[in-house]
Amino acid sequence: MRARIVGACGVLAAGVLAATLRAQPPAFDLVIRNARIVDGTGSPWYRGDIALRGDTIARIAPKIDAAAARVIDARGHVVSPGFIDLHTHARRGIFEVPTADNYVRQGVTTLIEGPDGSSPLPLKPFLERVAATRITPNFAMFVGQGSIRDQVIGSVNRKATPEEIEKMRGLVRQGMLDGAFGLSSGLFYVPGTFTPTAEVIELAKVAGAMGGIYISHMRDEAAGVLESVRETIEIGEKGGLPTQVTHHKIIGKTNWGKSADTLRLIDEARARGVDATIDQYPYTASSTSIQAALMPAWALEGGRQEVLKRLKEAARRAEIKKETARIIMEERGGGDPQNVQLARCDWDHSLDGKRLGDVTKGRGLAVTLDNAADTALWIVEQGGCQGIFHAISEDDLQRILKHPATMIGSDGEVPIFGTANPHPRSYGTFVRVLGRYVRDMKTISLEDAVRKMSAFPAQRIGLADRGVLREGLQADIAIFDPATIRDTATFEKPHSYAEGVDYVIVNGQVAFEGGTMTAARPGRVLYGPSTAR
């Protein structure tokens, strides 16, 4: 362009050239200097500068002196790819808080929704709504097997007919065409729990043929966890697609230690060529609804009205209560009603954060197992609550975290700051791994942790243009101080942001700096491998 102007205007050449040079935009929009680059691949960190142009990483070199519209001095802090969270419930909150501060402040730049078998149907209008809501992080979806089954068969305990299976396969296909990265299941939940393995495989085949993966909240994470890992592997193997155990954990004291066996199953599957992987959040408590966690699945068939009817029949109620007491003792209850915490009760927010034992006492009852079970059923009758369940061991958590096929996923949501008592994983998952498990306990290395949060999840769902710091890739970047990064959210005070993150860049734009979110909302909807456009 410049040469043409100079050539065309002979005598004016010198003056025009000078003016043109002055008007030239700087070579780069942003240069990050003095970086300790952890590139996402797991390779050891190295020193360098990173230059961005638009939404792209334009150059990485030991030193970049070219002019830039903006320079960030990383002061020797870590510069890594932005984190990719493969398991979020971000549709809880993303429209109220489109900046998703709780995630972005941790360095998370991509949220993936639709886990546990639950997604909006159809996906297309939902994704259009996300795209129209200027959000800060990128956003992607799985399509949910439970939602599909619910739409075709309802919340009933029976096998699908061949016609229904065809219909469900059609909905998986549509989900993939609409932009999903794969099929999720929640075989623990209603109606996923009513699904025979063979039926899931038929649906998984459709997702697999279209380049998707299978990701599962397994049927049982307690006494039956080994059988459930076998099932997850079988679905990947027979469905012909990568398969992932999501938020892998071992629930209930009597089952602690079984992660040694579940990981062996994953290793054996991988050794024979099954692409089986894991994700995990770094907490010893889980979170789901009180009814799903503490009531037997058979008692939940048919929806809320059926559940309430069952609870009114004395004999059935006694039967359910007995099973709920057992679950409190051996599974999600962690062996003590005080290990069950209420996270959010929409019918009485004064209960948010309280323990089941204390709520039982508050009803004028002695804190026996039987009375705690009765209180749990009473809670369901009042309208149900989201709960937090302290029933996971630190040993299992660390064993799973160290496994090379484990990546990090929060299982969190986008909370409205200060509202209810959510699981702290929404605010702390990624920085807790980097603070507690990398720096303080040295469970895994910094490079391995970053790999589990960036390149690995990107590769898992086929995001070839993100997750690694490399020239030509999309500029999703986190800059943080490895000496101070930490989670501050606790089970008692969950509404507390991450510390130690200096900058977060999404698609080349600075979304977080100096402790505050910027006005930029650069997030994009990311579409899966078979999206029809």
Q: Which residues of 470-492 are buried (b: 16+ CB within 10 A; e: fewer)?
A: eeebbbbbbbbbbeebbbbbebe
196 HSE (CA, 13 A, CB side): 8
Nearest approach, Cβ of 295 to Zn ion (angstroms)?
Answer: 17
Indicate the residue among 336 and 396 with the shorter CB distance to Zn ion: 396
Question: Rounded to 5 degrees, what are φ and ψ at 279?
Answer: -130, 165
Distances (CA, A) of 308 to 16, 46, 475: 82, 60, 51
Pairwise CA distance, residues 424 & 21, whole Å = 52
321 HSE (CA, 13 A, CB side): 20
Q: Is 475 left (phi over 0), alpha (psi -120 to 50) or beta?
A: beta
Please list, in sequence order, all residues whose beta carbon lies within 8 angstroms of the beta carbon of residue 271, skipping any fewer than 6 positions away: none
Indicate the residue among 144 and 482 with the shorter CB distance to Zn ion: 144
Nearest approach, Cβ of 411 to Zn ion (angstroms)?
Answer: 6
Cis peptide before 125 (omega within 30 of 0): no
Indicate the residue among 280 and 375 with the shorter CB distance to Zn ion: 280
Nearest approach, Cβ of 95 to Zn ion (angstroms)?
Answer: 21
Return the residue nearest Zn ion (CB atom): 217
Nearest approach, Cβ of 189 to Zn ion (angstroms)?
Answer: 8
Name the residues that contact Zn ion, by CB under 5 A: 116, 217
Nearest approach, Cβ of 187 to Zn ion (angstroms)?
Answer: 10
Indicate the residue among 116 and 150 with the shorter CB distance to Zn ion: 116
Sheet with 138-141: list strands edge to edge.
83-85, 108-113, 138-141
Question: Rounded to 5 degrees, what are φ and ψ at 58?
Answer: -90, -30
Indicate the residue among 189 and 503 with the shorter CB distance to Zn ion: 189
Nearest approach, Cβ of 116 to Zn ion (angstroms)?
Answer: 4
Nearest approach, Cβ of 325 to Zn ion (angstroms)?
Answer: 24
Nearest approach, Cβ of 86 to Zn ion (angstroms)?
Answer: 12
Token readout for 118 is 């639950």
Indicate the residue among 72 and 407 with the shorter CB distance to Zn ion: 407
Indicate the residue among 217 and 495 with the shorter CB distance to Zn ion: 217
Q: Could you tell me the sign of the dihedral formed by the alpha carbons of 398, 426, 515, 69, in that order?
A: positive
The alpha carbon of 451 is separated from its chain's Cα centroid by a whole number of angstroms, namely: 15
Indicate the residue among 141 and 506 with the shorter CB distance to Zn ion: 141
Cis peptide before 137 (omega within 30 of 0): no
